[in-house]
Amino acid sequence: MSSSSNAPQLTIGVLALQGDYASHARVLEEIGVRVKMVRKAQELTGIDGLIIPGGESTTFLKLLAREGLFEPLRSFAASRPTFGTCAGCILLAKHVSGPEQESLGVLDASVERNAYGRQIDSEILTDETRLPGGPLEMVFIRAPRISQVGAEVEVLATRDGSPILVREKNVLAATFHPELSEDRRVHRYFLQMIQERRDSGNS
Ligand code: GLN
């Protein structure tokens, strides 16, 4: 467990209500980040960023409502570094279809749930992205499709012309599961986003 730079150690929260939060925690520890499991609103304090993992977005919505976590999570994700993967990406988007459902609305994107159909609902692709270092392995599991993004959204990777890794200011979202591959570039990119904010004087 060693940090890649001399920067102070970061603490990243992982929303641990449901889904594959343990895999994200393992990756973060491996790249030298302190992990805090977030299950209650007060646990959103004292973290430098938050990961919303994959899982089932409808179940997340139920649990967020039950824990009184929906509004605190929305205000965190509106201004602080937040990374959503798969169901996490669905929760972050402004518009969700297939069917329509509530979301945090902090990422200017339209997302269609389970959009790749049953035949290819789970798939591993390796392709070039805008992250340096060559092709990236990307694991898709009942993935959503990002059908539209706003002008402020930076597209970092696409699949058949649709964005699959996007960033809008403090928000990063992937329709795939970087925590299930050995390549750590996407998590490191998120750390870099946090570091940039710190360096520019935002906490
Ligand atoms: N299909 C799930 C949903 O709609 C997302 C799947 C995932 O996170 N792997 O919420």
Enclosing domain of residue 90: 7-199
Residue 87 in domain: yes
Tally of structural domains, the chain: 1
Query: Does the pLDDT of residue 48 top 80, yes or no?
Result: yes
Ligand 1 binding pocket mutation candidate from 86, 118, 179 (most atoms within 8 A of CB): 86
Distance from Cα 89 to the centre of ligand 1, integer Å:
9
pTM above 0.75, yes or no: yes
Q: What is the pLDDT of residues 125-153, one digit of tens each?
A: 999 999 999 999 999 999 999 999 999 99
Query: Does the pLDDT of residue 116 top 90, yes or no?
Result: no
Residue 2 in domain: no
Residue 178 in domain: yes
CA atoms within 13 A of residue 5's CA, in its CB half-sphere: 8
Annotated catalytic residue 89: no
Strands (E), 62-180: 82-85, 93-97, 107-112, 122-127, 136-141, 145-149, 154-159, 162-168, 171-174
Check residue 182 and give left, alpha or beta (phi > 0: left; psi -120 to 50: alpha). Answer: alpha
CATH number where 65 lies: 3.40.50.880
Distance from Cα 57 to the centre of ligand 1, integer Å:
6
Res. 7 pLDDT band, cuts 50 70 90: low
Q: Is 137 in the pocket of ligand 1 (CB under 6 A)?
A: no
Query: Does the pLDDT of residue 4 top 50, yes or no?
Result: no
Ligand 1 binding pocket mutation candidate from 57, 102, 116 (most atoms within 8 A of CB): 57
DSSP 119: T
